[in-house]
Amino acid sequence: MGYTKKETYDEQVTENLVVNYKNILELIGEDADREGLLKTPERIAKAMQYLTQGYSLNAVDILNSAKFHEPISEMVIVKDIEIYSMCEHHMLPFIGKAHVAYIPNGWITGLSKIARVVDVFARRLQVQERLTVQVMDAIRESLNPLGVAVVIEAKHLCMMMRGVQKQNSVTTTSAFYGEFEKDTTRSEFVKLISADLSR
Ligand SMILES: Nc1nc2c(ncn2[C@@H]2O[C@H](COP(=O)(O)OP(=O)(O)OP(=O)(O)O)[C@@H](O)[C@H]2O)c(=O)[nH]1
Ligand SMILES: [Zn+2]
């Protein structure tokens, strides 16, 4: 395996984060020594390392770890991949779904690896536009496909619980490469991700 999953936490980083989060608790007017908050700095330290573990993972390695030669050139779509990321402006979550497609050119990858690659880039501080393009670029680099399409729909908590306070706005971003730059292929992709296959 060319990658590792985050199941342990760096002790030194955790220790430093604990000191800083304790300060933050005091700065927002809390008593960091009250019972309910005693372990909170350590919990946040671990949660933050978990939510940013993408920095230490390599998306192309993950795709390459289950790469198979297959002489097909039909569209492969993995849709409705849940996304939990954090905007780099406020460090508040944005939450939604990614729809990813590619047209193989001799190579396919394990389907779960597509979802893992979405997580690799989502688990960093992000803007939705960059996240969308990074997923596309990793698939391009690993599989050299005839085309790649990535659409992400997300709600940004920084627009919901603060600031402009819009509860229903959804941001859609897209990135298309190769065959998907053609109207017909792109339309087929959009039709397929819009279809409710459960009926
Ligand atoms: N393009 C883009 N903008 C984002 C994303 N996430 C958050 N933002 C925006 O980043 C912008 C930062 O704007 P600023 O004016 O510097 O920050 P702010 O004063 O907190 O802005 P408001 O949210 O409007 O109160 C805001 O408009 C956010 O809505 C994202 O993924 N992509
Ligand atoms: Zn934000």
Q: What is the ipTM of this complex?
A: 0.89
pLDDT at residue 135, rounded to an integer: 99
Residue 2 confidence (pLDDT) above 60:
no
pLDDT at residue 196, rounded to an integer: 78
Nearest CA to ligand 1 atom 21: 163
Nearest to 179 by CA among 140, 138, 149, 154: 149
pLDDT one-digit tens code per residue, 108-164: 999 999 999 999 999 999 999 999 999 999 999 999 999 999 999 999 999 999 999
pLDDT at residue 1, rounded to an integer: 44
Give the number of C-alpha atoms closer than 13 A to the C-alpha of residue 115, restricted to the C-beta side.
11
pLDDT one-digit tens code per residue, 149-188: 999 999 999 999 999 999 999 999 999 999 999 999 999 9
Helix, strand and coil content of the chain, in percent to the nearest 5, comes to 45, 25, 30
Average pLDDT of the chain is 95
What does each C-alpha distance from 63 to 59, 98, 102, 161 come to in angstroms? 6, 17, 13, 36
Q: Within a 10 A sphere around the Cβ of 107, how many other Cβ atoms?
A: 18
Q: Which residues line ligand 1 (CB under 6 A)?
A: 87, 89, 127-129, 156, 158-159, 163-164
Query: Which of 94, 156, 158, 169 for a ligand 1 pocket mutation test, highest count of atoms within 8 Å of Cβ?
Result: 158
* Report field, pTM of the whole predicted structure over 0.80: yes
CA of 88 to the centre of ligand 2 (A): 6
Query: Which of 84, 88, 89 for a ligand 1 pocket mutation test, highest count of atoms within 8 Å of Cβ?
Result: 89
pLDDT at residue 8, rounded to an integer: 81
Residue type, 37: L
Residue 4 confidence (pLDDT) above 70:
no
The reply to whether 99 belongs to the active site is no
The reply to whether 128 belongs to the active site is yes
